[in-house]
Protein backbone atom coordinates (compact mmCIF):
# COMPACT_ATOMS: atom_id res chain seq x y z
CA UNK A 1 0.00 0.00 0.00
CA UNK A 2 1.42 3.39 -0.85
CA UNK A 3 2.25 5.78 2.00
CA UNK A 4 -0.28 8.41 0.99
CA UNK A 5 -3.18 5.95 1.03
CA UNK A 6 -1.96 4.47 4.32
CA UNK A 7 -1.85 7.93 5.92
CA UNK A 8 -5.31 8.77 4.59
CA UNK A 9 -6.73 5.57 6.11
CA UNK A 10 -5.29 6.39 9.53
CA UNK A 11 -6.42 10.03 9.28
CA UNK A 12 -9.95 8.92 8.36
CA UNK A 13 -10.22 6.86 11.56
CA UNK A 14 -8.84 9.77 13.58
CA UNK A 15 -11.43 12.12 12.03
CA UNK A 16 -14.26 9.67 12.73
CA UNK A 17 -13.10 9.30 16.33
CA UNK A 18 -12.85 13.07 16.75
CA UNK A 19 -16.34 13.62 15.28
CA UNK A 20 -17.80 10.88 17.48
CA UNK A 21 -16.22 12.34 20.63
CA UNK A 22 -17.44 15.82 19.69
CA UNK A 23 -21.02 14.56 19.33
CA UNK A 24 -20.81 12.76 22.70
CA UNK A 25 -19.60 16.02 24.27
CA UNK A 26 -22.50 17.96 22.73
CA UNK A 27 -25.00 15.40 24.01
CA UNK A 28 -23.41 15.39 27.46
CA UNK A 29 -23.43 19.18 27.67
CA UNK A 30 -27.18 19.24 26.95
CA UNK A 31 -27.64 16.96 29.96
CA UNK A 32 -25.20 18.95 32.14
CA UNK A 33 -22.76 16.03 32.17
CA UNK A 34 -19.23 15.41 30.99
CA UNK A 35 -18.69 13.04 28.08
CA UNK A 36 -17.23 10.35 30.34
CA UNK A 37 -20.16 10.71 32.76
CA UNK A 38 -22.61 10.22 29.88
CA UNK A 39 -20.68 7.16 28.66
CA UNK A 40 -20.74 5.79 32.20
CA UNK A 41 -24.49 6.31 32.61
CA UNK A 42 -25.05 4.77 29.17
CA UNK A 43 -23.11 1.64 30.14
CA UNK A 44 -24.89 1.34 33.50
CA UNK A 45 -28.27 1.85 31.78
CA UNK A 46 -27.66 -1.18 29.57
CA UNK A 47 -25.89 -3.21 32.24
CA UNK A 48 -27.48 -2.50 35.62
CA UNK A 49 -25.70 -3.82 38.72
CA UNK A 50 -22.36 -3.74 36.95
CA UNK A 51 -19.29 -3.81 39.18
CA UNK A 52 -16.64 -1.09 39.17
CA UNK A 53 -13.97 -3.40 37.73
CA UNK A 54 -16.14 -4.51 34.83
CA UNK A 55 -17.31 -0.94 34.24
CA UNK A 56 -13.68 0.22 34.14
CA UNK A 57 -12.89 -2.49 31.58
CA UNK A 58 -15.89 -1.59 29.41
CA UNK A 59 -14.96 2.12 29.48
CA UNK A 60 -11.23 1.41 29.00
CA UNK A 61 -10.44 3.38 32.16
CA UNK A 62 -8.71 2.56 35.43
CA UNK A 63 -10.72 1.53 38.47
CA UNK A 64 -9.61 4.65 40.34
CA UNK A 65 -10.78 6.90 37.48
CA UNK A 66 -14.15 5.12 37.34
CA UNK A 67 -14.44 5.36 41.12
CA UNK A 68 -14.10 9.15 40.88
CA UNK A 69 -16.71 9.31 38.11
CA UNK A 70 -19.05 7.16 40.21
CA UNK A 71 -18.50 9.46 43.22
CA UNK A 72 -19.53 12.52 41.20
CA UNK A 73 -22.56 10.79 39.67
CA UNK A 74 -23.58 9.54 43.11
CA UNK A 75 -23.34 13.08 44.53
CA UNK A 76 -25.75 14.16 41.79
CA UNK A 77 -28.01 11.24 42.76
CA UNK A 78 -27.90 9.76 39.26
CA UNK A 79 -26.48 6.41 40.37
CA UNK A 80 -26.41 4.36 43.54
CA UNK A 81 -24.04 1.75 44.88
CA UNK A 82 -25.27 -1.48 46.42
CA UNK A 83 -23.37 -4.27 48.15
CA UNK A 84 -24.67 -7.69 47.10
CA UNK A 85 -25.43 -10.15 49.91
CA UNK A 86 -23.57 -12.97 48.15
CA UNK A 87 -20.30 -10.99 47.95
CA UNK A 88 -19.96 -8.28 50.58
CA UNK A 89 -16.59 -7.19 49.13
CA UNK A 90 -18.01 -6.10 45.78
CA UNK A 91 -20.04 -3.04 44.87
CA UNK A 92 -22.70 -2.96 42.18
CA UNK A 93 -23.86 0.21 40.49
CA UNK A 94 -27.25 1.05 39.06
CA UNK A 95 -29.10 4.16 37.97
CA UNK A 96 -31.40 5.93 40.38
CA UNK A 97 -34.82 7.00 39.20
CA UNK A 98 -33.32 10.40 38.38
CA UNK A 99 -30.53 8.68 36.43
CA UNK A 100 -33.15 6.68 34.52
CA UNK A 101 -34.95 9.92 33.66
CA UNK A 102 -31.73 11.47 32.35
CA UNK A 103 -31.13 8.47 30.10
CA UNK A 104 -34.73 8.42 28.90
CA UNK A 105 -34.35 12.09 28.01
CA UNK A 106 -31.17 11.17 26.14
CA UNK A 107 -32.95 8.46 24.15
CA UNK A 108 -36.08 10.53 23.48
CA UNK A 109 -34.69 11.89 20.24
CA UNK A 110 -32.61 14.68 21.72
CA UNK A 111 -29.32 12.84 21.19
CA UNK A 112 -27.36 14.37 18.33
CA UNK A 113 -25.16 11.27 18.20
CA UNK A 114 -28.11 8.86 18.06
CA UNK A 115 -29.67 10.89 15.24
CA UNK A 116 -26.38 10.81 13.30
CA UNK A 117 -26.04 7.07 13.86
CA UNK A 118 -29.55 6.61 12.47
CA UNK A 119 -28.43 8.54 9.37
CA UNK A 120 -25.37 6.32 8.99
CA UNK A 121 -27.59 3.24 9.32
CA UNK A 122 -29.44 4.42 6.21
CA UNK A 123 -26.41 3.34 4.17
CA UNK A 124 -27.08 0.19 2.17
CA UNK A 125 -26.71 -2.96 4.30
CA UNK A 126 -24.10 -4.31 1.88
CA UNK A 127 -21.88 -1.24 2.45
CA UNK A 128 -22.26 -1.44 6.23
CA UNK A 129 -21.35 -5.13 6.19
CA UNK A 130 -18.27 -4.40 4.06
CA UNK A 131 -17.16 -1.64 6.47
CA UNK A 132 -17.65 -4.00 9.42
CA UNK A 133 -15.67 -6.72 7.68
CA UNK A 134 -12.77 -4.36 6.90
CA UNK A 135 -12.84 -2.86 10.40
CA UNK A 136 -12.69 -6.38 11.83
CA UNK A 137 -9.59 -7.14 9.76
CA UNK A 138 -7.93 -3.87 10.78
CA UNK A 139 -8.76 -4.43 14.44
CA UNK A 140 -7.37 -7.98 14.31
CA UNK A 141 -4.10 -6.64 12.89
CA UNK A 142 -3.90 -3.90 15.52
CA UNK A 143 -4.73 -6.27 18.39
CA UNK A 144 -2.20 -8.81 17.13
CA UNK A 145 0.52 -6.17 17.29
CA UNK A 146 -0.58 -5.16 20.79
CA UNK A 147 -0.49 -8.78 22.01
CA UNK A 148 2.98 -9.35 20.54
CA UNK A 149 4.38 -6.37 22.47
CA UNK A 150 3.09 -7.67 25.82
Query: Looking at domain 3-110, which CATH architecture does it have?
Result: Orthogonal Bundle (1.10)
For the chain, strand residue ranges (E) read 50-51, 79-82, 92-95
Check whether 127 has a pLDDT greater than 90: yes
Give the per-residue pLDDT at 10.
84
Give the per-residue pLDDT at 54.
95
Q: How far apart are CA 100 and CA 48, in angstroms?
A: 11
Q: What is the largest CA-CA distance in the chain?
A: 59
Calculate the CA 39 to chain-centre distance. Answer: 5
Q: Using one digit for the tens of pLDDT, what is the confidence trace for 99-121?
A: 999 999 888 878 899 889 889 99
Q: Using one digit for the tens of pLDDT, what is the confidence trace for 30-88?
A: 999 999 999 999 999 999 999 999 999 999 999 999 999 999 999 999 999 988 777 77
SS3 content of the chain, % helix, strand, coil (to 5): 75, 5, 20
Half-sphere exposure of 39 (CA within 13 A, CB side): 18
Through-space distance between the first and last CA atoms of the chain, rounded to whole angstroms: 27
**CA angle 28-31-33, nearest 5°?**
55
Domain ranges of the chain: 3-110, 111-150
Amino acid sequence: MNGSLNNELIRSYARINKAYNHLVQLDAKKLDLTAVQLKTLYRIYFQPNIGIGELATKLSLTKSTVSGIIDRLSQRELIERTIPEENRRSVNIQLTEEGQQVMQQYFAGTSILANKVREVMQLPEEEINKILELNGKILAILMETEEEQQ
